[in-house]
Amino acid sequence: MLIHSASQILTLAGPPQRGQALGELGIIEDGAVLLDGEKIAALGPSREMRTTYADEPQFDAGGRVVMPGMIDPHTHAVWAGDRAAEFEMRIQGKSYLEIMNAGGGIVSTVRHTRQASLEELKAQTRPRLVSMFKHGTTTAEAKSGYGLNTETELKMLRAILDLDVEGPLELTPTFLGAHAIPTEYKDTPDGYTDMVCNEMLPTLNLWWKTKLSAFNLHRLPFVDVFCETGAFSLEQSRRILETARWLGFPLKIHADEFDNLNGASLAAELGAVSADHLVVTSQADMAALGQSDTVAVSLPCTPFGLAEGHYTPASDFLDAGCILAIATDMNPGTAWCENMQFAIALACRYLRLTPAQAIAAATINAAAAIGKADQIGSLEPGKQADLLILDVNDYRHLGYRFGGNLAHTVIKKGTFYPIGG
């Protein structure tokens, strides 16, 4: 199949974009891209490509923008129930802590998620994944973390594996057993850390190996920790991540959402794939990230969702030489947003990224944040045929316009899904 007559093809060709190099789109004007099954076969100017590949089926992009499918590298997409009442309380002035003490917050979602059957959990999650896909996300990371006991954490991971097989949105799983201290361990938080290290991680390791062939899995899931005041201290985070690393798991961390506990430096030291949130990161932590391959993932929907004024100081991260990515953080508490286009619009305004920088942060760098930059995130021969056709003739409309859906067609592994237009 030859897709031709794109006003701009944003190839994003090349490696993840570090520091101030962010924003190289590799544009082919009036471009064409040849797909071969699930892969990209060739790219070039429409006129030449239409001659060379005249015998291929043709798809007229009609002067629209063609780019890689977006990658959402940080989501908590799987959960049961909702927290609409809590949102209303927050808007009326109740603090996060007051809401937590009234039985709200993460532990309220944990109650609902523990009660839901696997089928109920998948049924509640499915429409969110469909919506993400319709907004142009072709691959997303998805975390457990609303179980906080072995049984429910595994149920969540099973839901992620099943929903990935269902498609079309491709999912990359992350174990976040260390998301919050469950009510049962309120007075003994170190006891919960012991449980994560001594019971959950080894059990997960064995359980995963029984799923390898049925689900065609190539690696262990990521292990993530919410390193934050009121969640897991730096020492507890270190114990969990070191145990996970010893068992062979690739690592991620939630760091610096509210307090700077030096979690980003820990991520860099342990070779984590990413460190996420990064609102109140110190200069030393930024320097550590900038000297590592750990991707800095900013989540602008979260301060927006909480109506807070502080966002990731992106230009400092770029000056420090970091590989910057963006994600939605889609979750029921702080950011129920299924739309990476909206994350881009926020990143342009509050992180002061140009549209080109935000697009690179949502594609090739987001792919790096889930360890998949060799397969997705750019349009290059041999890469997966995951593409997004936008109903605009200039890429800068992404970021400029917000609140709607600019997707015209989403293509996943070579299959076309018409969306709008």
Which residue, 249 or 336, has its beta carbon nearer to ligand NIG?
336
| Per-residue DSSP letter, 251 | B
Give the DSSP letter string of 70-115.
EEE-------SS--HHHHHHHHTT--HHHHHHTT-SHHHHHHHHHH
Which residue, 329 or 338, has its beta carbon nearer to Fe ion?
329
Q: Which residues contact 390 (CB under 8 A, 6 or more apart)?
A: 64, 65, 66, 67, 136, 397, 398, 406, 407, 408
Which residue, 82 or 269, has its beta carbon nearer to ligand NIG?
82
The site that binds Fe ion (CB under 5 A) totals a number of residues, namely 1
Hey, which residues between 361 and 400 contact ligand NIG (CB under 6 A)? none
* Token pair 């457990």: residue: 144
Residue least distant from Fe ion (Cβ): 329
Residues 79 and 331 sit within 8 Å (Cβ to Cβ): yes
Partner whose binding site includes residue 257, from ligand NIG, Fe ion, none (CB under 5 to 8 Å by kind): ligand NIG
Which residue, 174 or 292, has its beta carbon nearer to Fe ion?
174
Hey, which residues between 220 and 239 contact ligand NIG (CB under 6 A)? 226
What separation in angstroms does the CA of 190 have from each of 44, 219, 235, 236, 354?
57, 29, 10, 8, 44
* DSSP SS3 for 387: strand
CB of 122: closest distance to ligand NIG in angstroms? 19
Hey, which residues between 278 and 307 contact ligand NIG (CB under 6 A)? 302
Which of 334, 341, 363, 409 is in the footprint of ligand NIG by CB under 6 A?
334
Hey, which residues between 274 and 333 contact Fe ion (CB under 5 A)? 329
- Calculate Rg over the CA atoms of the chain: 21
How many whole angstroms separate alpha carbon 116 and alpha carbon 99? 23
Give the range of 157-165, 329-337, 339-347, 349-357 binding ligand NIG by CB under 6 A: 329-337
Partner whose binding site includes residue 226, from Fe ion, ligand NIG, none (CB under 5 to 8 Å by kind): ligand NIG
Which residue, 31 or 333, has its beta carbon nearer to ligand NIG?
333
Which residue, 11 or 302, has its beta carbon nearer to ligand NIG?
302
CB of 33: closest distance to ligand NIG in angstroms? 35
Residues 26 and 14 sit within 8 Å (Cβ to Cβ): yes
Strand boundaries in 144-273, DSSP class E: 170-178, 222-227, 252-255
> Residues 239-249, buried b or exposed e (16+ Cβ, 10 A)?
bbbebbeebeb
- The site map against ligand NIG for 59-88 (x = CB under 6 A) is -----------------x------------
Instruction: Tell which phi-psi region holds residue 366, choosing left (phi > 0), alpha (psi between -120 and 50) or beta.
Output: alpha
Hey, which residues between 99 and 118 contact ligand NIG (CB under 6 A)? 106, 109
Interacting residues toward ligand NIG by CB under 6 A: 76, 106, 109, 226, 254, 257, 302, 329, 331-334
Interacting residues toward Fe ion by CB under 5 A: 329
